[in-house]
Structure 1
């Protein structure tokens, strides 16, 4: 059997190139994991709100009017990476037995790195002995948020139909995941 050397060389070069790409992807993944792991992260209470805090909150709730209705009665915490605010979580006591997470946002450059989970775990641990119920609300089109909250143990308890059609709070339509946002979903964690 005769082997075409040119064909064999092309095959080896192609195979080598493919393995090289896989190798590079593995190295980059390990580098990014270690980079995130080595970043100096810290969660601290927000005493005075900065422009960056408002920008983050507006990513989760695009109504400054809505944010201003609850912000003065809340505890708010910032997640910092190397002294840069990259996330906020805002919590309010809504009745003697219930705390509600009013706002949770992570800077878009830090999405999919588990920082939202880190802030949620922080609040769950901090308030577990201070209330019986922990609630959080999100839009019906907020698919990633719904997944995260349910993964963390929250259960859907109520749909508030047409909540985001309130033109006083939300004068402009909100488009998310290719859908017009209309309904608010309330989730709750009981006896956590």
Structure 2
């Protein structure tokens, strides 16, 4: 069959795995990748937490999977992050320089305060709106992917994450996908993947 490369817009509350989502703490079946992608033999390159949304790449090409997942290759991953309160320049500078979370110092990253709310499909269920607590949106580009790293970074500078959407992995983007939709990569996207 050859190598397959699939881009998927993971919705909120979906597990980044194909196996059943039953656990002792969540006995009811949870939605998984199998509920959306009917293609056997492909696996996610990295993960998104159940409460995160956005772009995932799935493939059966082990070398591509390794090179995009291994921190030594430092491929960028870009997120739109809704946080509590509007971060001061000093908090943004801390994020850019790296923060210490769980005894680990994060690598420097790119962080920009977005001037407008990004155009995203509504999340189900929506973020709880609190009248007295303003929110802001950040665009963060990391070159590593520790467990729940973005959430832990924003919390470390006093701005808990409310919504997290990955919009890009290297040169791959959400483009016109909607939550729950997937597509095969284009020939030009595939060519660039093979050069990674």
Structure number with greater CO (CA < 8 Å, separation at least 6) is 2
Higher helix share: 1
Do they fold alike, i.e. is TM over 0.5?
no
Name which one, 1 or 2, has greater alpha-carbon Rg: 1
Q: TM-score scaled by structure 1?
A: 0.28
